Structure 1
Amino acid sequence: MSGYNAVAAKNTENAPSNGLSSQSAAFSHYNNLSAQLPINPQTGELVAGGIKAQAEQCFENIKAIVESIDHVMSDIVRITVFVKNIQDVDAVDEVYKTYFPTYVPARTTVAVADLPKGASVQIEALVSHGEGTIPNAPQAGDLIKLTNNTANAPTSPLSTQTVAFSHYNNLSAQLPIDPKTGRLVVGDVKEQTAQALKNIKAILESIDVPFDDIVKINIFLTDLADTEAVNEVYSRFFPDSSIARAVAYVPARTVVEAAALPLGASVQIEAVVSHGDGTPPQAIEDRHGIVIWANNTENAPIDELSTQTVAFSHYNHLSAQLPIDPKSGKVVSGGVKEQAEQSLKNIKAIVESINHSLEDVVKVNIYVKNIADLDAVDEAYKAFFPQGTPARRVVGVSNLPHDALIQIDATVSNAEGTPRKA
């Protein structure tokens, strides 16, 4: 593999470890960190105290991991905060400000039904990695992180609308806020979905990036029954251009039910966007100089509103996989272990369809209806990831599509990258 990027998984004694995941899995120009619980690494137990003490421990764990790979907190490009009680966000923010006093990354905040070990908060980070992961061959170690805000979308002192690094733009999750009034738009979930997508579009236009450069969309809904209404609006935005319509391009997608969202919103949408130009000092390339590769296989469930995997540069972004048998189109019989196996089989089928293997997975996101099922899920998980290499996130949700017990998505390395447009 000399001359190619390699997955670099690392752990430090200064942060909690569990044997099922790596604290950090780096590939090319990004470090993917496992979501951090408020666990004291010395005791292996949740810290005593309220939400502020828990948030501080989460950030201390992230800081320890970041420093163990010779980075600093300002190298973080995205923070995701999961809380059990949306009312705790203000307290979390007080702690957050002490770790990001000047530069603020892109950010997503969601209240979920449950978190592992009964924690009140869980925080994860995506970190820039300028030196890359070609063995013994440091890449452009002086890549510049580009931040941008526009008045045409909601602004916040706690987050940057988009943070670009290397070949990706990482957008803060967009609420259905009218940027002119600073308030939620009037109307039902359709109006809210349209506003959230308009905000994303405004951010992308402000950095001269087309809407169809989105490679992954994450939708957080407070009521999964609203999915059909959201999809109706979503279909008006994707595909966006005549080129995308000609090939019926839609991004990879994950839909998650949230227990609550900031400002009492019904929907919040997060986007990961390709950045063909790269960030300096990478050589300036023509727009779409690196091609977006979208792929579906019959060996995994197909959905007309999402692509199973979308590759750009050195990453493949997978849509969330439910425990659906692709032959029958139905949820498999059995309990959560059987459902976890099917979800992972679907991921494996997608990964293999693009000539990769599960060893190339750098991040796994698991959503379970019952957090108490996690032991059974882990039994299935170990068979697919025996080395525990990928970084991991686990959250409890109260509902999943098709009344499934589990849903899993993944980010996969793409050593060969995607080609230049001919």
Structure 2
Amino acid sequence: MIAKKVNSILARNTNNAPQSIGPYSQTVAFSHYNNLSAQLPIDPKSGKLIAGGIKEQAEQCFKNVKAIVESIDHVMNDVVRITVFVKNIKDSMFVDEVYKTFFPAYLPTRTIVAVAALPLNALVQIEVLVSNGEGTISNAPQAGNLIKLINNTTNAPTCALSSQTVSFSHYNNLSAQLPIDPKTGRLVTGSVNEQTGQCLKNIKAILESIDVPFDDIVKINIFLKNLADIDAVNEVYATFFPDSAIARAMAYFPARTVIEVSALPMDALVQIEAVVSHGDGTPPQAVKDRHGIVIKANNTKNVPSCPLSSQTVAFSHYNHISAQLPFDPKTGEMIVGGIKEQAEQCLKNIKAILESINHAMEDVVKVNLFLKNISDIEAVDEIYGTFFPSGIPARRTVEVSSLLKNALIQIDVVVSNAEGTPPHV
């Protein structure tokens, strides 16, 4: 019998970029994407933050990203999505100046938010997602030189420094959408309700411009200026999802993460980011390998559920897990204890979700940590290391001003899916 060729997780590190300041890898590739850990402005030679202000720090972040990308035989034009975390939203204009020097022509999709704090008290942290055309089937390139498909439509707000959507292989990665009226280029008037509606309208317009249904969204990230606005956001959100008759019949909702930020561009109250399935794939994948891939959503009673999100949504070779809070699945309430107990409960919930779909923690390729207090990271890592002893997943860590139910920590993950989703294998 001929052994079936399957994707494998490929974690890599280079001495040309800063060594991880925790139990994680610089980059973890799986199938057609490389997931990079968020990069801080650390000098790889000294292991310390560089001297200087926001421009110097932003440049060092990008240099570190570039060093990692080049160490895996890729180039900066292979970046499909960038997330910029700044301590002060006003610093984004200085980050933009540096950004242009690394992306003078091609523009990835992009998200910019200000957060309460970053590791090592940095002013900026930059994270990227990189295409991986060769795939990760050992000694068997999967589809040759896959191409990126970049699209912009005048029916949604445009930005001189980012593309609205960049497709690669079986995913569309959208720039985070602000509540901007595409006709005026200004924020819509009104409360968070109107702003949420406009963000979702903009996402829908982008998807319609590339002939992708709204219900092909697999993951939503909602960035809120005030977490107390979540009920108002949910009221509007529920009018957009599910969108189609089929999705309504299945009660389908994407996986979701809600994050309070310190500030958003243009002083917006809300910003929404979407990750979207792309069943057609990108050329030159053969038609027989591209069409008919299905979205598989799953929920288990072993973990607290949310009526507006699926616990996990798989598409092709990735599973996207909704952010997990430290809730006891039996009571649905916050567990008793401090940061260690809460971190453990979040990871237990993630593990329960993965086991419900016949996966394991070893399949995680990326972890996103949201902490109420960044100084808790050492305590979190004590627990974290027991769930990820090999230190393989890539990682992002930020401090947020507030979490739902006054939690101290929230965790979401991206998981490999070697078996793919039918009929893709």
In the alignment, does 2:194 pair up with 1:191? yes
The one of 344, 349, 353 equivalent to 2:347 is 344
Secondary structure of the structure 2 residue equivalent to 1:219: strand
1:17 aligned partner, one-letter code: Q
- Find the aligned partners of 1:214 and 1:144 in 2 and give their Cα distance: 21
Alignment of 1:8-407 (within 5 A): 8-18=10-20, 19-284=22-287, 289-407=292-410
Structure 2 counterpart of 1:4? 6
Preserved contact between residue 277 and residue 285 of structure 1 (Cα < 8 Å) = no
How far does residue 14 in structure 1 lie from its aligned partner after superposition? 0.7
Distance across 2 between alignment mates of 1:115 and 1:267: 21
Q: How far did 1:286 drift?
A: 10
What is the CA distance between 1:420 and its match in structure 2?
A: 2.1
Structure 2 CA distance, aligned partners of 1:67 and 1:357? Answer: 30
Q: Is the CA contact (8 Å cut-off) linking 1:276 and 1:285 kept in structure 2?
A: no
SS in 1 for 2:200: helix
Q: CA–CA distance in 2 between the matches of 1:299 and 1:68?
A: 41
Q: CA deviation at 1:7?
A: 0.3
Answer whether contact 2:311 2:353 (CA < 8 A) is retained.
Answer: yes
Residue identity opposite 1:10 in structure 2: R
Kindly state the Cα deviation for residue 285 of structure 1 after the two structures are TM-superposed.
5.9
Q: What is the deviation of 1:33? A: 0.2
Unaligned runs of 5+ in 1: none
- Give the superposed CA RMSD: 1.1
Under a length normalisation based on structure 2, what TM-score does the superposition of the two structures give? 0.98
Q: Which amino acid aligns with 1:276?
A: G
Checking the alignment, whether the CA contact within 8 Å between 1:174 and 1:200 is kept in structure 2 is yes
The amino acid across from 2:244 in the alignment is S
How many residues end up aligned between the 2 structures? 421
TM-score after normalising by structure 1: 0.98
Deviation at 1:284, TM superposition (A): 3.0
Deviation at 1:101, TM superposition (A): 0.1
* Cα distance per residue 1:307-341 (max 9 Å; x no partner): 00000000000000000011010111110010000
Q: Secondary structure at the match of 1:420?
A: coil
CA distance in 1, matches of 2:231, 2:396: 27
Aligned mates of 2:369, 2:277 — CA distance in 1: 24
TM-aligned CA deviation for residue 141 of structure 1 = 2.6
- Aligned 8 A contact 1:276 1:286 in 2: no
Aligned to 1:82, the other structure's residue is in SS state strand
Report deviation, 1:2: 5.5
Percent identical among aligned pairs is 74
Give me the whole-angstrom Cα distance separating, in 1, the residues matched to 2:17 and 2:302: 38
**2:149 counterpart letter in structure 1:** L
Residue of structure 2 in register with 1:416 after alignment: 419
SS in 1 for 2:359: coil
Shift of 1:288: 6.5
Does the C-alpha gap of structure 1 residues 3 and 43 become closer, same or farther in structure 2, counting only changes over 3 Å?
same
Query: What is the CA distance between 1:287 and its match in structure 2?
Result: 8.9
Note if contact 2:144-2:284 (Cα within 8 Å) is conserved in structure 1.
no
Deviations 1:261-289 (A, max 9, x none): 00000000000000000000012369970
Secondary structure of 2:320's aligned partner = strand
The answer to whether the Cα contact below 8 Å between 1:361 and 1:412 also exists between their aligned partners in 2 is: yes
Equivalent-residue separation in structure 1 for 2:198 and 2:415 (angstroms): 31
Task: Name the aligned partner's letter for residue 247 of structure 2.
Answer: A
AA at the equivalent of 1:114: A
Aligned residue identity for 1:388 = G
Q: Is the 8 A contact 1:2 1:134 kept in 2?
A: no
Preserved contact between residue 281 and residue 290 of structure 2 (Cα < 8 Å): no
Deviation at 1:46, TM superposition (A): 0.3
**Aligned-partner residue type, residue 131 of structure 1:** E
Q: Following the alignment from structure 1 to structure 2, what is the Cα–Cα distance between the partners of residues 212 and 149?
A: 20
What is the SS of the residue equivalent to 2:92? helix
Higher deviation after alignment, 286-295 or 211-220: 286-295
Gap runs ≥5 in structure 2: none
Separation (CA, whole Å) in 1 of partners of 2:19 and 2:209: 40
Distance 2:275 2:286 in 1: 22
Give the letter for the 1:12 counterpart: T
SS at 1:205 equivalent: helix
